[in-house]
């Protein structure tokens, strides 16, 4: 599953879109809530969460098969 943006907590800074190596947020503009344009390109490495200045503004939902392989 792709990253999920909490619109109430998001500051619309665009840092997540700039840092994403998979270009999941393609087309996102600053001062707007990031749009997950290509969810299938998410690498689930959480760089967007680490770069986000607001705790809880982005949640990464890792697919169940990936979770099971990490156990």
For the chain, what is the total number of helices (H) and then of strands (E)?
Answer: 3, 2
Only one residue has tokens 């619109």, namely 7
Predicted TM-score (pTM) of the model is 0.79
Write out pLDDT tens, residues 12-49.
Answer: 999 999 999 989 999 988 899 999 999 888 888 889 99
CATH of 3-70, one of 3.30.70.20, 3.40.50.800, 3.40.50.970, 3.40.50.720: 3.30.70.20
Q: How far apart are CA 42 and CA 62, in angstroms?
A: 10
Handedness of CA 16, 18, 24, 30 (dihedral sign): positive
Higher pLDDT pick, 59 / 1: 59
- Listed by start position, the domains of the chain span 3-70
């Amino acid at each position: 599953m792709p990253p999920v943006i909490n619109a109430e907590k998001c500051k619309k800074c665009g840092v997540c879109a700039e840092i994403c190596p998979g270009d999941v947020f393609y087309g996102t503009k600053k001062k707007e809530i990031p749009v997950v344009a290509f969810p299938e390109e998410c690498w689930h490495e959480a760089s967007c969460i680490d770069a986000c200045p607001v705790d809880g503004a982005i949640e990464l939902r890792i697919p169940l098969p990936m979770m099971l392989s990490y156990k």
